Amino acid sequence: MTSKATITVLGDPEEVQRQWRASDHGSILSENEEAVTFKRAPGDRGTEIHVDLARTAPGGALGETLQKLLGAAPRAKVMDELRRFKQVFETGVVTRSEGSPEGELAERKLKQRPAQPMEDSELMKVGLR
């Protein structure tokens, strides 16, 4: 059984493919025995990058579920890598924020919690009280 990850990048297919090959973005993908294809997006809206991943999680369905819970699912990691490539290709940088300085990663999503006010002791630690 296979899984697919796709993203659209604003750019000519030849240039997108050239920069893809020149970057290290393919390194995480080569671990998963995938096929990467580049197609012109409908309506001349850039380039679609398609990644076909072979599902080879140890332990079958239980192994896949465990990988998803731990943020280690191959598709989630590939989507992270595709988003990073898109950002670098289109803007030259990976978007970061104070809340997630390393960028969006599948591993962090499991640890997220709703925003809430800081306790007085926490405010004192950062010098706001």
Tokens of 3: 């899984």
Q: What is the pLDDT of residue 106?
A: 58
Its domain, for residue 33, covers: 2-119
Q: Is residue 125 part of a domain?
A: no
In this structure, what token pair is assigned to residue 74?
């191959």
Query: Is residue 79 situated within a structural domain?
Result: yes
Residue-wise pLDDT tens digits, 26-50: 555 655 445 889 999 999 899 999 9
In a domain, 127, yes or no: no
- 7: number of Cβ within 10 Å: 17
In a domain, 63, yes or no: yes
Please indicate, yes or no, if residue 126 is contained in any of the structural domains: no
Task: Report if residue 62 sits inside a domain.
Answer: yes
Is 129 part of any domain?
A: no
> pTM for the whole thing?
0.64
pLDDT in tens, 38-89: 999 999 899 999 988 765 556 666 766 666 655 556 777 788 889 889 999 9
Please, which pLDDT band fits residue 97 given cuts at 50, 70 and 90? low
How many domains does the chain divide into?
Answer: 1
